[in-house]
Amino acid sequence: MKKVVLVAVALVMTIALTNPVAAQQVSDQTILTYEVLTSEWADLIGGVLDLTEKEAAGFWPLYEEYGLLKGELWNRRIDVIKIFLGAYKDMSPEMSRILLDQSFNIERQMLELKMEYAQLFDDVLPPNKVTRLFQAENKLETTMMMEIVKDVPLVK
């Protein structure tokens, strides 16, 4: 059963990602906000942390690694939203549930990643800076999600 669901998700993702309707439903402001935040993300984090040279030497390579993994999850999150937007008008209850489960899975993986890297950041930063890092990350992610979801209607 799980294999059937995975095949169905893969098929729907392929169809939805090639669907121009999904891209048309995302506002220019949303795209601009996403692009600005993603391109300036590291600078914003660096400005908040006020790192010493020693901290920076340990932090930035680890943060880059973390950012790549987190970016993969963000891309999956955006793919789910694109699928939803592409299938919105005639979405079946089954597809609705598959997309919800995919969203939950991505959120779980994101939390696990953050928890894992919080421990790794503890090795290169004092606890108050690790906490500040994840506070800043949360604010930036919330800002980005608020901009993205404003274009997403509630399921029928």
Mean pLDDT confidence for 113-131: 98
CA distances from 4 to 1, 21, 79, 127, 133 (A): 5, 26, 20, 45, 40
Highest average pLDDT, of 76-80, 127-131, 143-147, comes from 127-131
pLDDT value of position 24: 44
Looking at the domain assignment, is residue 155 inside a domain?
A: no
Mean pLDDT confidence for 14-27: 45
Q: Give the long-range contacts of residues 60-63, CB within 8 A, separation 24 or more.
A: 62/117, 62/120, 62/121, 62/124, 63/121
Looking at the domain assignment, is residue 84 inside a domain?
A: yes
Query: How remote is the C-alpha of 66 from its chain's centroid?
Result: 12
Is pLDDT at 122 greater than 70 in this prediction?
yes
Looking at the domain assignment, is residue 27 inside a domain?
A: yes
Residue-wise pLDDT for 22-49, tens only, equals 444 555 655 655 666 666 888 889 889 9
Looking at the domain assignment, is residue 154 inside a domain?
A: no
Residue-wise pLDDT for 48-88, tens only, equals 999 999 999 999 999 999 999 999 998 898 888 888 888 87
Looking at the domain assignment, is residue 102 inside a domain?
A: yes
Higher-confidence residue of 77 and 117: namely: 117
Alpha-carbon span 98 to 111, nearest angstrom: 20
Q: What is the mean pLDDT of the chain?
A: 80
Is pLDDT at 5 greater than 80 in this prediction?
no
Question: Using an 8 Å Cβ cutoff, are 42 and 67 in contact?
Answer: yes
Looking at the domain assignment, is residue 69 inside a domain?
A: yes
Looking at the domain assignment, is residue 156 inside a domain?
A: no
User: What are the residues whose beta carbons fall under 8 Å from the beta carbon of 44, sequence distance 6 or more?
Assistant: 37, 136, 140
Mean pLDDT confidence for 76-105: 89
Domain extent, residue 43, equals: 2-149
Looking at the domain assignment, is residue 99 inside a domain?
A: yes
Q: Which of 109, 117, 108 is nearest to 137 (CA)?
A: 117
Hey, is 145 helix, strand or coil? helix
% of the chain at pLDDT higher than 90: 46
Report how many domains make up the chain: 1
Is pLDDT at 13 greater than 80 in this prediction?
no
